Amino acid sequence: MDSILVRGNGPLNGEIPIAGAKNACLALMPATLLSEEPLTLTNAPRLSDIRTMTQLLQSLGAEATEMQEGKVLALSSHGADNHIADYEIVRKMRASNLVLGPLLARHGHAVVSLPGGCAIGARPMDLHISALEAMGAEIELKDGYLHAVAKGGLKGAVHELRFASVGATENTVMAATLAKGTTVLKNAAREPEIVDLVKCLRAMGAQIDGEGTSTITIEGVDRLHGATHQVVADRIELGTYMLAPAIAGGAVECIGGRLDLVGAFVEKLDAAGVAVEETARGLKVSRKNGRVNAVDVVTEPFPGFPTDLQAQMMALMCTAEGTSVLEEKIFENRFMHAPELTRMGARIDVQGGTATVHGVERLKGAPVMATDLRASVSLILAAMAAEGETIVSRVYHLDRGYERVEEKLGAIGAHIERIKD
């Protein structure tokens, strides 16, 4: 397995282009299954998760072609005739479950393996299942596969999610576009990735209102047509690279960044003593005055502080002035990076879903191991401000969510390189 070598070397300066959102693209790609006409996605990120979703769609009989070095995805499901999402592909990535709703809506039946992905919590499928069952689907779990049938097609329904799940919202909205009648989804997730999905579905002819709020209304149509859609900027990659100068010093402009994507995160940066300035091309980030201040963080569904930036924020708090408390309310098991940061000299106490971080003057390089996607990049961020060398192993997680991370960070002055096994 590859490793990443980082040498702490002081301030970072320059600019970083922000890629299209992984989590948005992974929901947009299955939308091709809803139509026989082509769907073209531009500003697609070049990631292993995107390649996995491509393989899954191809296994279902869809056409999926990368163009312009992977930045454009040409998708077509006119010949998609397979309704079984196989375990060998689905196990690699939890977002694979997003084919369930589209397959059920278009074909009336689907067999989808239970998904895999990072081991950061249960993330059960019951929210997806209950929503689809409310629309008339019959779903049974057999031998690790969900067997779903909608006799006579899906029908509009009023349903309230027990939790504002992003994936369950996406699956339900896609399925409802071809259902008979009106579907009202309450306690829907409000994330920008859902707003982006609705924007694409609307371009395909769907009738949807209320995206970005907790109630989404979908009026089913007979068919959807093709479209071209630009994937929204990745707010998690944006937040990650905004933390680079906050941790290591300097000033970095994140090209394509938008304040509306990271509002709650920017509020915490401001309280910590990090300046964020809107520019003509994005967001420019720098420290206000030397060492940052400790701030408390509670992860919440959008528009709250994102769980996918908690590990990176912890890396910043490791060298902050004072003590910070980070409370994880979205996923259990999401403090696995804390022991690795402790190996670098951080002082962190984890009790259940709460981590207390006592800031230290300086971290020190050490061999550490990535445990999941966001944990891997948090260790890289911490290493850029640490004394000496840090080797981050098991970085295959990293390639699922960050494209060309060594190139992007190297361009702003980080001493970072990949070590091939």
Q: Tell me the range of 204-208, 330-334, 398-402 where mean pLDDT is highest.
A: 204-208
Amino acid present at 101:
G
Q: Mean pLDDT, to the nearest integer, of 153-176?
A: 96
Residues annotated catalytic, as ranges: 118
Residues 6+ apart with CB under 8 A from 302: 189, 190, 191, 192
Answer yes or no: is pLDDT of 177 > 70: yes
Is position 124 annotated in a ligand binding site?
Answer: yes
Q: Mean pLDDT, to the nearest integer, of 147-176?
A: 96
For residue 17, the surrounding DSSP H or E stretch is strand 12-17
Q: Which domain holds residue 369?
A: 3-19+233-419
Same domain flag for 278 and 318: yes
Same domain flag for 292 and 210: no
Answer yes or no: is pLDDT of 117 > 50: no
Q: Which of 218-227, 291-300, 331-340, 345-354 has the lowest mean pLDDT?
A: 331-340
- Last residue of one domain, picked from the residues 230, 258, 288: 230
- Nearest C-alpha neighbor of 244 from the set 14, 45, 2: 14
Residue 173: half-sphere exposure toward Cβ, Cα within 13 Å: 36
Same domain flag for 147 and 259: no
Across-strand partners of 346?
Answer: none
Q: Mean pLDDT, to the nearest integer, of 171-192?
A: 98
How do residues 365-408 score in pLDDT, each as one tens digit? 999 999 888 889 999 999 999 999 999 999 888 888 898 999 99
Other beta carbons less than 10 A from residue 320's beta carbon: 21
Cis peptide, bond prior to residue 303, ω within 30 of zero: yes
Same domain flag for 119 and 136: yes
Contact criterion met (CB below 8 Å) for 35 and 222 = no
Q: Return the SS3 of 264.
A: helix
In our burial notation (b when 16+ CB lie closer than 10 A, e otherwise), range 368-387 reads: bbbbbbbbbbbbbbbbbbbe
Confidence of residue 118 (pLDDT cuts 50, 70, 90): very low
pLDDT score, position 116: 53
Same domain flag for 8 and 39: no
pTM given for the model: 0.92
Same domain flag for 126 and 200: yes
Q: What is the mean pLDDT of the chain?
A: 94
Is position 222 annotated in a ligand binding site?
Answer: no
Is position 22 annotated in a ligand binding site?
Answer: yes
Confidence of residue 127 (pLDDT cuts 50, 70, 90): very high
Confidence of residue 124 (pLDDT cuts 50, 70, 90): low
Is position 269 annotated in a ligand binding site?
Answer: no
Same domain flag for 15 and 40: no
Is position 94 annotated in a ligand binding site?
Answer: yes
Confidence of residue 120 (pLDDT cuts 50, 70, 90): very low
Backbone angles phi, psi at 245, to 5 degrees: -70, -25
Is position 373 annotated in a ligand binding site?
Answer: no
- Last residue of one domain, picked from the residues 203, 230, 257: 230
Other beta carbons less than 10 A from residue 79's beta carbon: 11
For residue 61, the surrounding DSSP H or E stretch is none
- Last residue of one domain, picked from the residues 230, 248, 276: 230
Backbone angles phi, psi at 348, to 5 degrees: -130, 130
Helix axes 310-317, 263-272, angle to 10 degrees: 0
Q: Any idea what the CATH number is for the domain that residue 335 is in? A: 3.65.10.10
Same domain flag for 252 and 283: yes
pLDDT score, position 115: 74
Amino acid present at 387:
E
Answer yes or no: is pLDDT of 123 > 70: no
Q: Mean pLDDT, to the nearest integer, of 167-190?
A: 98
Answer yes or no: is pLDDT of 121 > 50: no
Tally of domains within the chain: 2
Same domain flag for 271 and 240: yes
Rg over alpha carbons for the chain, rounded to the nearest Å, is 21
Same domain flag for 169 and 239: no
Same domain flag for 174 and 268: no
Query: For residue 140, what are its two tokens?
Result: 């049974």
Same domain flag for 330 and 263: yes
